[in-house]
Amino acid sequence: MKNKITRRAALGLAGGALAMPFTARSGFGQSYPAKPVTVIIPFGAGGTTDLIGRIVCEKLSQRMGKSFVIENRAGAGGNTGVAGLAHSAPDGYTIGMTTPSTHGINPNLYKERLPFRPLEDFEFLSLASSQPNFMCCHPSLPAQNVAEMIAYLKANPNKEAFASSGIGTSIHLSGELFQQLAGVKMQHVTYRSSGALIQDVVSGNVKITFDNFTSPYPHYKAGTIRGLAVTTTQRAKIAPEIPALAETLPGFDIASWNGFLAPKGTPKEICDRLIVEMRAVLQDPTVVSRFEELGAAATPSGGDEARAKAISEMAKFKGIIDKAGISIQN
């Protein structure tokens, strides 16, 4: 009969379907996701990366019809969470976030003890946001601007301390770069969280910080701390009255950025779908507006741009770390 398929022919068709590579499966990328996706954020809840991740994942869940579920895995300056991502199944159902700590600073601090390979172990998906750090101080200090702060610190070497959320964070290295370019000396005091350090700056227990913009900004608006400068080359859109450090110290450029990764070997169709959806989310006016309220700019990109960012950040922070002689002890 014309439409009859023999058993041998049917087996042949089935074998051909099984042998068909991922790239040839019709609509494979469009059928993803078929279940919830875990998104590893390598820092605790409430920080800038967590807030950005939650905004993006909320929109991804709406657009893609399945939940993108945040899992905070803090520890070792982001290494714990990113190492967990590197060793997750490359099936698209576990992705994660990256920051200057995990793909700029830590490779230079931990070197061969880094528990993942920063470039080889991941598929880069997209950058997400960028915001400056915020140099600010307790109002009891006499300096009203960056130039006056430099003059004060030169006249009082090691009298003042700057606060950070840990050795090797972008906050710490902003302080180190400031000392290098300004020719001043300060002590360094570490805290377990950004919230804790800001409270001590507000109270005057430690008087200077270069914290991520989001945390000190409300205190600056309230007048309980003095804002001196942002650490990026451009002023922050949300606070254009605050100068950039580069206006006084040419070449100063440190941003607190973040982006998304998948484990190496995640199928290209899934990565491509995520890149398309993330770009749409990061161009959504409501998302752009919510980022701006945090002092951040949306930075949609492709995987190649995200990978290039990691490479350039590792090179930049190597120079700062080597000059400061910073190391992580066993």
What pLDDT shows up at residue 327? Answer: 81
Band of pLDDT at residue 77, cut at 50, 70 and 90:
confident
Per the prediction, the chain carries an average pLDDT of 90
Closest CA relative to residue 29, chosen from 278, 266, 304, 272:
272
Q: What integer pLDDT is reported at residue 166 of this predicted model?
A: 83
Q: What is the pLDDT of residue 117?
A: 98
What percent of the chain has a predicted confidence (pLDDT) above 90? 81
Q: How confident is the model at residue 48, as a pLDDT?
A: 85
pLDDT in tens, 94-126: 999 999 999 999 999 999 999 999 999 999 999
Confidence bin at 54 (pLDDT 50/70/90):
very high
Confidence band, pLDDT 50/70/90 cuts, at residue 232: very high
The Cα–Cα gap between 149 and 182 comes to 10
Residue 329 — very low, low, confident or very high, per pLDDT cuts 50/70/90? low
> Is the pLDDT reported for residue 29 higher than 60?
no
pLDDT of 13 higher than 50? no
* pLDDT number for residue 1: 38
Write b or e for each residue in 223-252: b if 16 or more Cβ atoms lie within 10 A of its Cβ, otherwise e.
ebbbbbbbbbbebbebbeebbbbbebbeeb
Q: What is the pLDDT of residue 330?
A: 52
Rounded CA-CA distance 3/6 in Å is 10
2 CB-near residues (< 8 Å, 6+ apart): none
In this prediction, residue 75 carries a pLDDT of 87
Q: What is the pLDDT of residue 76?
A: 87
d(CA 134, CA 211): 5
Which of 1-10, 21-30, 31-40 is predicted least confidently?
Answer: 1-10
Mean pLDDT of 130-158: 97
238-249 confidence digits (pLDDT tens): 999 999 999 999
